Amino acid sequence: MSDEELQPTTDMETLVSLCKRRGFVFQSSEIYGGLQGAWDYGPLGVEMVNNIKRAWWRANVQERDDVVGIDAAILMHPMVWKASGHVDTFSDPMVDCRNCKGRFRADELSSDVCPTCGQKGQFTEPRMFNLMLRTFLGPVQDEAATVYLRPETAQGIFVNFENVQTTTRKKLPFGIAQIGKAFRNEITPRNFIFRVREFEAMEIEYFCRPEDSLRLHQEWMEERRRWYARFGLRMDRLRLRAHRQDELSHYSSATSDFEYLFPIGWGELEGVAHRGDFDLTQHAKHSGKALTYFDEERGEHIVPHVIEPALGVGRCMLAFLADSYAEEIDEKGEKRVVLRLHPAIAPIKVAVLPLSRNEKLSPTARDIYARLRKHWMTQYDDAQSIGRRYRRQDEIGTPLCVTVDFQTVEEDQAVTIRE
């Protein structure tokens, strides 16, 4: 089947409503009408987010001996953003509709017809709008006190290149991984957790010899595809798209995006960028520190090139949610929602369900619950019919349900496990 014939598993409204109903994601500050571009992760959402981060960290740091992790501060010296090019070029072109006052990203408009009011030819000339969020450090709110909330975690890695290299004594090629919050003052935050103003990023800067960089760029793309496959993402809904020359970021000589068939259509899930030696060279120039690597084989100092796989945790969660979503009709003709999440990603691993709320069953069921909880996120549910409780677990992707019945307590101590 071609990409064009494939359909998303569901629409965004259905996912938003499931996420709210079951406590995955809530609108930020909802009781005050919400804040655009900010979302809160509820009890199930935070588990899923943690599972995604753990799965990424495990594959990219724990299981590799050529990648180490760091956790840099969100606030950085303002010179970082001057050197990285973000102050001057991290901007999107913005236009306003003179008729309805709607505001849009010019590069996302396909014609001169306003998507909100339908009027033609009402857009202002595009103005460049810097996406970095600014704040002030200390009591005086002037230019000298201005700092930025980082728009990517990458720069925390580049400025620590020397620290990490000397303390770990890693030889090229090696990578530094980081998971952390990033902020972008997006012109049009929308599509639920797909495009937000505050998000968590998972990024690796993989440093290598210039002559190995093209090969390693390819290898990282393959590695990242294997990661998605390992956690059950359907491969026909994931595709790689190389950036055109005019799309490339200011730092990149080549970038490919993994795109996923989200409920809104194909959209970027992860970028795998070839950043060349741009960042280390810029920071060396602006800080006056030599950010080089001594290549023992050649007996010379070189500036490593960098490959960067980078994705947002929320966007990744949206892909896993959409990918695992299915609606089925049961024997009674009722609709049942099932999330077929990989067990490592599922928020709850086991549900303990006594056949009914009965004083004979409860002690055994509670004892099993207490024992399982030490190892996995476990839920105990004895409210309503057993069929309903199974459906509740199906809807949140719980891989295992343990049912305790009278036979368990009266005869064999055996439980029924449903996968």
> Given the rule CB under 6 A, which residues bind ligand ATP?
184, 186, 195-196, 199, 201, 268-271, 310-312, 314-315
Q: Token pair for residue 205?
A: 């800067």
- Using an 8 Å Cβ cutoff, are 109 and 94 in contact? no
Residues 306 and 205: their CA atoms lie apart, in Å, by 6
Shortest Cβ distance from residue 178 to ligand ATP (Å)?
Answer: 13
Instruction: Name the residue nearer to ligand ATP (CB basis): 259 or 381.
Output: 259
Give Rg (Cα) of the chain: 25
Shortest Cβ distance from residue 54 to ligand ATP (Å)?
Answer: 18
Q: Token pair for residue 77?
A: 């010296």
Instruction: Name the residue nearer to ligand ATP (CB basis): 45 or 314.
Output: 314
Shortest Cβ distance from residue 316 to ligand ATP (Å)?
Answer: 7
H or E stretch at 35: none
At residue 378, what are phi and psi to the nearest 5 degrees?
-130, 145
Q: Using alpha carbons only, what angle is made at residue 381 by residues 376 and 386, rounded to the nearest 5 degrees?
A: 120
- Using an 8 Å Cβ cutoff, are 92 and 85 in contact? no
Of all residues in this chain, which one has the CB nearest to ligand ATP in the complex?
Answer: 312
Relative to beta strand 416-418, strand 146-149 is: unpaired
Shortest Cβ distance from residue 262 to ligand ATP (Å)?
Answer: 11
Instruction: Name the residue nearer to ligand ATP (CB basis): 67 or 350.
Output: 67
Shortest Cβ distance from residue 89 to ligand ATP (Å)?
Answer: 12
Per residue in 190-219, is it b (16+ CB within 10 Å) or e — as a string? Answer: ebbbbbbbbbbbbbbbbbbbeeebeebbee
- Using an 8 Å Cβ cutoff, are 203 and 224 in contact? no
Shortest Cβ distance from residue 201 to ligand ATP (Å)?
Answer: 5
- Using an 8 Å Cβ cutoff, are 305 and 292 in contact? no
Residues 194 and 42: their CA atoms lie apart, in Å, by 17
Q: How far is CA 376 from the centre of its chain?
A: 23
As to burial, measured by CB atoms within 10 angstroms (0-12 exposed, 13-18 middle, 19+ buried), residue 375 is exposed
Instruction: Name the residue nearer to ligand ATP (CB basis): 157 or 269.
Output: 269
Residues 291 and 163: their CA atoms lie apart, in Å, by 10
Instruction: Name the residue nearer to ligand ATP (CB basis): 319 or 339.
Output: 319
Instruction: Name the residue nearer to ligand ATP (CB basis): 269 or 341.
Output: 269
Instruction: Name the residue nearer to ligand ATP (CB basis): 47 or 186.
Output: 186
Shortest Cβ distance from residue 45 to ligand ATP (Å)?
Answer: 15
Instruction: Name the residue nearer to ligand ATP (CB basis): 197 or 392.
Output: 197
Shortest Cβ distance from residue 192 to ligand ATP (Å)?
Answer: 10
